[in-house]
C-alpha cells in the first residue's frame, strides 16, 4: 500500500466519522427534546455556558461561543423574554451588563441533559453487548484524543 492509498483510507474514515458524529449529535438533540423547545442551539449553548461558568458579560459569551455580540444580544433578548435568563449591572463595572441563568433556565437545561443521557444509556443497553461496550470505551478515549488534538504549528520565540 502506498502513501496515497493510506491517505484515501484515512480520508474515508474521516468522512464516516464526521457523518456519524453529526447524526449522533442530531439524534441526541431530538431525543433530549431540544428541538421541541423552540430555542436555537446557540440559545441553548448560552444557557449551558451560564450554567457551567456562572454570570457572564455579553462580550465573554460572544468570545466563548465564537459569535458576534449582536448575535448574543438577539439570543439574550429571546431567553430573557422567556424568563430563562436575567440581566443586571456588573458589580465592578457599571458600563457592563451581567447575564445570568434563572431557576427556570436551569430546570429546562438540566431536563434536556437528563433526557439526552437517559436515551443514550437506553440506546447503549439495547444495542451493545459487553464486548461492544469495551470497544465503545476505547472509541470514546480515541475521540477525546481527537478532540484535544492541537495541530497548529509551534512558534519558536527566542
Confidence of residue 8 (pLDDT cuts 50, 70, 90): confident
Report the DSSP beta bridge partners of residue 94: none
Residue 157 has pLDDT above 90, yes or no: no
In a domain, 24, yes or no: yes
49 with 68, same domain: the answer is: yes
- Residues 93 and 108 occupy one common structural domain: no
Q: Note the pLDDT of residue 134.
A: 96
Q: Confirm whether 156 is domain-assigned.
A: no
pLDDT band at 158 (very low <50, low <70, confident <90, very high): low
Q: Domain check: are 71 and 45 in the same one?
A: yes
Shared domain for 73 and 114, answered yes or no, is: no
What's the mean pLDDT when you consider all of the chain? 91
Considering the entire predicted model, what is its pTM? 0.71
Q: Which domain holds residue 116?
A: 7-37+103-147
What is the CATH number for 66? 1.10.10.10
Domain count, the chain: 2
Amino acid at each position: 500500500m502506498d502513501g496515497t492509498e493510506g491517505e484515501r483510507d484515512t480520508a474515508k474514515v474521516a468522512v464516516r466519522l464526521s457523518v456519524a458524529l453529526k447524526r449522533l449529535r442530531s439524534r441526541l438533540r431530538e431525543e433530549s427534546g431540544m428541538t421541541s423547545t423552540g430555542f436555537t442551539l446557540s440559545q441553548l449553548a448560552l444557557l449551558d455556558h451560564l450554567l457551567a461558568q456562572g454570570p457572564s458579560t455579553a462580550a465573554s459569551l460572544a468570545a466563548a461561543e465564537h459569535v458576534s455580540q449582536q448575535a448574543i444580544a438577539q439570543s439574550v433578548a429571546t431567553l430573557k423574554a422567556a424568563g430563562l435568563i436575567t440581566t443586571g449591572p456588573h458589580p465592578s463595572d457599571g458600563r457592563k451588563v451581567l447575564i445570568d441563568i434563572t431557576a427556570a433556565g436551569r430546570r429546562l437545561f438540566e431536563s434536556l441533559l437528563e433526557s439526552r443521557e437517559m436515551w443514550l444509556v437506553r440506546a447503549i443497553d439495547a444495542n451493545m453487548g459487553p464486548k461492544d461496550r469495551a470497544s465503545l470505551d476505547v472509541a470514546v478515549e480515541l475521540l477525546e484524543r481527537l478532540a484535544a488534538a492541537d495541530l497548529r504549528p509551534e512558534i519558536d520565540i527566542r
